[in-house]
Structure 1
Amino acid sequence: MTQTAPDMIELKGITKEYVKPSGEVHTVLRDINLRIPKGEFTSIVGPTGCGKSTALNLIAGFEPPTEGEVYISEQRLDGINQRAACVFQTENAFPWKTVIDNVSLGLRLRGISKADAYDEARKWITRVGLKGFEGHYPSQLSGGMRKRVSLAQCLIVQPEILLMDESFSALDVHTRQLMEDELLRIWEETSASVFFITHDLEEAIALSDRVIVLTAGPGATIKGDYQIDLPRPRNVAEISFDPAFMRIHQQIWKDLKDEVMISYENANKFTS
């Protein structure tokens, strides 16, 4: 990444509040200022309940901030972010549609003919390693294969922003590493900006150009902002053995550990 890369995402003075059934105001995020350049892979880590998914929802335009503004490519976001695609922990695929129908759906909804959408879908199905499974239904695929379908569904529309919320957390460790490497391979061929939420610090470091640490909630803020200066291309399973990886992990964990302990203590107060 270069210092001159234009901003794709900017959170400017963002505060997000909810009103509880009791009428009490709950502040999830407070005064968040964050700029993500075009093409950067940014991961967000923090203790449970710190507002990581809320931040993603604001960037996606699923809900507005209470205070502050979200800018996408220097344009104020108002409504759904049409430049973004989302990959969540849960499956995106419709169970009654085949792989090719699921992958091509985004193009069909944009008015592309079925024949052209199928042609493009076949290319992406091949790119994510599912060639030969075009006619299969999601129930006939493994968890890792269904996650590949989800990636192809999002990437086929060539989003400028890819929003990922614990996307690989439900996979076994070996499948997860394969999917992480697949994500990096495809991302490196595109110019998409990635906003990646994870509880796994090792995953965040292995994938990212940058790792943002949020404080414990309520009223979470940004505690740390780390550049990950590890060489690319990366192999997720091997990069963790690099001494530089270990130094970065130790540095970030010092920040993150304190917030995890605060979150744990707060949770115990409510349950005791």
Structure 2
Amino acid sequence: MNKAKDSVRYEAKVISQPMIELSGVCKDFLKPSGEVHSVLRNIHLAVAKGEFVSIVGPTGCGKSTTLSLIAGFEPPTQGMVRIRGETLQGINPLAACVFQTENAFPWKTVIDNVSLGLRLRGKDKREAYAEASRWIEIVGLKGFEGHYPHQLSGGMRKRVALAQTLIVQPEILLMDESFSALDVHTRHLMENELLKIWEETSASVIFITHDLEEAIALSDRVIVLSAGPAATVKGDYKIHLPRPRNVAEVRFDPAFMKLHEQIWNDLRDEVMISYADAARNK
């Protein structure tokens, strides 16, 4: 896909009604001492249908909290979370999550784990197995249907997690440090696998990562959160790199390097603030 087509694709996304919208969102938690701890303050963020957005920021700035608000695991203290224009109340029915930790049941085989979501939605075993087999092949695990999680490598278990999530065809895919535990080579393979599958769907993706290079390589936009407490959106960067992308090769593109320098200048200041705050609170 050339740069002109990539630009058209991006513009088509951003002019549509947002799939996800956070308007003036604040999130506070009550400490055991009774003191109010403000995690997020006045967050404004809109994500279009089919858009891939990564969120970066210092440790403890509220990245995972933002994901929880979109998933509906937590309500905002102030402001609103809207999904397709409707205020979110309770669990987000359009979203599915892939976390850093393993979510496969160790006593179930690959095909049983992958088909579970459909079985819970009422599909009979034969139909669920047929669809699970298709997704197992899509993520490159054909032939491992009868294996148990402990018989798979870390990268293969992440492929199972992707298949488990994507088989229910979520309109919103939420990923929290999903590849951080993998070695660099497996990580690149999984990133490319994710992009290949995403480009065949219309899912909106929110991807949380500490790795700025990963964020740029994967995304249409990179959001920088400020240091906590009371983190807010400091930067919102469009990533106009052509697709399809190879996440290892795109890092050598001069445009990638320029984006990395620009975003890192924003992010570095927040990281230093976070380190200074942590040192004072020791």
TM superposition score normalised by structure 2: 0.96
Partner residue, 2:253: 242
Question: 1:183 is matched with which residue?
Answer: 194
Aligned twin of 1:46 = 57
Query: Is it true that 1:58 corresponds to 2:58 in the alignment?
Result: no
Q: Does 1:34 align with 2:42?
A: no
* Structure 1 residues 133-212: aligned runs within 5 Å: 133-212=144-223
What is the match of residue 84 of structure 1? Answer: 95
Letter in 2 for 1:198: T
Q: Measure the CA separation in 2 of the matches of 1:35 and 1:59.
A: 11
The letter for the 1-side match of 2:37 is H
Q: Distance in 2 between matches of 1:266 and 1:4?
A: 39
Provide the rounded CA distance (Å) in 2 between the counterparts of 1:154 and 1:87: 7
| 3-state SS of paired residue (1:145) | helix
1: CA distance between counterparts of 2:15 and 2:29?
37
Which residue number in structure 2 is paired with residue 111 of structure 1?
122
Task: Specify the code of the residue in structure 2 equivalent to 1:240.
Answer: R
Deviation at 1:29, TM superposition (A): 0.1
Shift, 1:186, TM fit: 0.1
The separation in 1 between residues aligned to 2:232 and 2:218, in whole angstroms, is 23
Question: By how many angstroms is 1:37 displaced?
Answer: 0.5
CA offset digits 1:107-148 (Å, max 9, x no partner) = 000001110000000000000000000000000000000000
What SS does the aligned partner of 2:96 have?
Answer: strand
Partner secondary structure for residue 252 of structure 2: coil
Q: Give the deviation of 1:167 after TM superposition.
A: 0.2
1:72-98: CA deviation from partner (whole Å, max 9, x where unpaired): 011110000010000000011000000
Q: CA deviation at 1:239?
A: 0.2
- 2:240 is aligned with what amino acid? D
Q: How does 1:89-104 map to 2 (within 5 A)?
A: 89-104=100-115
Structure 2, gaps ≥5 residues long: 1-9
Q: Name the amino acid aligned to 2:19.
A: M
Task: Tell me the equivalent position of 2:3.
Answer: none
Residue 22, structure 1, aligned to residue 53, structure 2: no
Q: Secondary structure at the match of 2:40?
A: strand
Q: By how many angstroms is 1:6 displaced?
A: 2.0
* Structure 1 residue aligned with 2:6: none
Percent identity, aligned pairs only, is 76
TM-superposed CA distance for 1:158, in Å, is 0.4
Q: What secondary structure does 1:237 align onto? A: coil
Does 1:229 pair with 2:240? yes
Equivalents in 1 of 2:216, 2:74: separation in Å?
29
Q: Is 1:265 matched up with 2:276?
A: yes
Aligned length: 271
> After TM superposition, what 4+ stretches of structure 1 lie above 6 angstroms from structure 2?
none
1:218 aligns to what?
A: 229
Deviations 1:11-41 (A, max 9, x none): 0110000010001000000010110011000
How far 1:5 moved relative to its partner? 2.1
* Aligned-pair Cα RMSD in Å: 0.5
Where structure 1 has 5 or more consecutive residues not aligned to the other structure, the ranges are none
Mapped partners of 1:64, 1:249: distance in 2: 33
